[in-house]
Amino acid sequence: MKLYIVGFGAGGYQYMTIQAKEALEDSEVIVGYSVYVDLVRNYFIDKEFYSTSMKKEEDRCRWAIEKTLQGKKVAIICSGDSGVYGLASLVYELAADYEPFEIEVISGVTAALSGGAVLGAPLTHDFAVISLSDLLTPWELIEKRLNCSAMCDMVICLYNPSSKKRIDYLKKACEIILKYRSEATVCGYVRNIGREGEYGKVMNLGDLKDLSVDMFTTVFIGNSTTKNLNNKMVTPRGYKITTDFSRNVEPSKTDH
């Protein structure tokens, strides 16, 4: 008895891995948030589909586990990667309530990567991924993570940058980062990655701070070396690039 937990990537069929496609083809039942089930439904025929609204995640996972234990081949689908703000951990935690069964996590392309590809090469080197949703995490800790990531010059990728109840969180996040980085820092955002209406834009941190974004947007804040090259957000690979990979790096350039 095996339950697949499948990250299907950004949204279109082509963003899933071949492994994900094969897992979904192998499954008899596909379970997910209703919007995600609708994204994949047309590509996998003769399957039983089960969907729930966004907040019924535990119900969804328990239903999938119970179907698996009845002997069905089941896949739970998540957008992006199921191990990044997805359901893989919840399934492992709930599994303790049931008799043993096999779980196979199928990795997918998370928004930091698919959105990054739209903008150019914004990550490249060390980066932090932080969600601005304080539903399950105290805002004070999110602030601490923003401070810490900015303090050591990592590229920062923000998920869930806003919602109806959190319209100024991106501004607050930018104000924290501005304590360590200049207003000219190259940033970018991508809306609706891999879906209809995909839109990406490169700008500076000063302008990002005043921007309204929706919940379908992923935000990238560059480090001190990130550049805007023909409207692509490009973070170089290190602090000194030479073709002979000399080790004469300049640490003082990055100290704050």
Residue 235 CB contacts under 8 Å (≥ 6 apart), including other chains:
121, 122, 123, 124, 125, 155, 222, 223, 225, 226, 227
**Residue 148 binds to its own copies (criterion: CB under 8 A):** yes
Burial class (CB in 10 A: 0-12, 13-18, 19+), 253: exposed
Find the binder of its own copies among 42, 97, 138, 164 (CB under 8 A): 138
Length of the chain: 256
CB contact at 8 A, 218 and 115 = yes
* In the complex, least distance from residue 212 CB atom to its own copies, rounded to whole angstroms: 23
**Residue 131 binds to its own copies (criterion: CB under 8 A):** yes
Shorter beta-carbon distance to its own copies: residue 215 or 229: 229
Find the binder of its own copies among 11, 32, 86, 222 (CB under 8 A): 86
* In the complex, least distance from residue 2 CB atom to its own copies, rounded to whole angstroms: 14
Q: x/- site string to its own copies, residues 177 to 216, per CB under 8 A?
A: ----------------------------------------
**Distance of alpha carbon 192 from alpha carbon 111, whole angstroms:** 10
**Residue 33 binds to its own copies (criterion: CB under 8 A):** no
Q: Residue 6 has which token pair?
A: 């499948």
Shorter beta-carbon distance to its own copies: residue 74 or 193: 193
What sign does the dihedral 83-89-90-96 (CA atoms) show?
Answer: positive
Shorter beta-carbon distance to its own copies: residue 32 or 122: 122
Burial class (CB in 10 A: 0-12, 13-18, 19+), 168: exposed
Shorter beta-carbon distance to its own copies: residue 70 or 89: 89
**Residue 222 binds to its own copies (criterion: CB under 8 A):** no
**Distance of alpha carbon 142 from alpha carbon 156, whole angstroms:** 12
Could you list the beta-strand ranges (E) of 183-242. Answer: 186-191, 199-204, 217-221, 227-229, 232-234
Shorter beta-carbon distance to its own copies: residue 96 or 210: 96
Candidates 34-42, 67-75, 88-96, 169-177; binding stretch for its own copies (CB under 8 A): 88-96
Shorter beta-carbon distance to its own copies: residue 206 or 236: 236
Candidates 33-41, 64-72, 90-98, 207-215; binding stretch for its own copies (CB under 8 A): 90-98
- Strands 127-131 and 155-159 come out as parallel
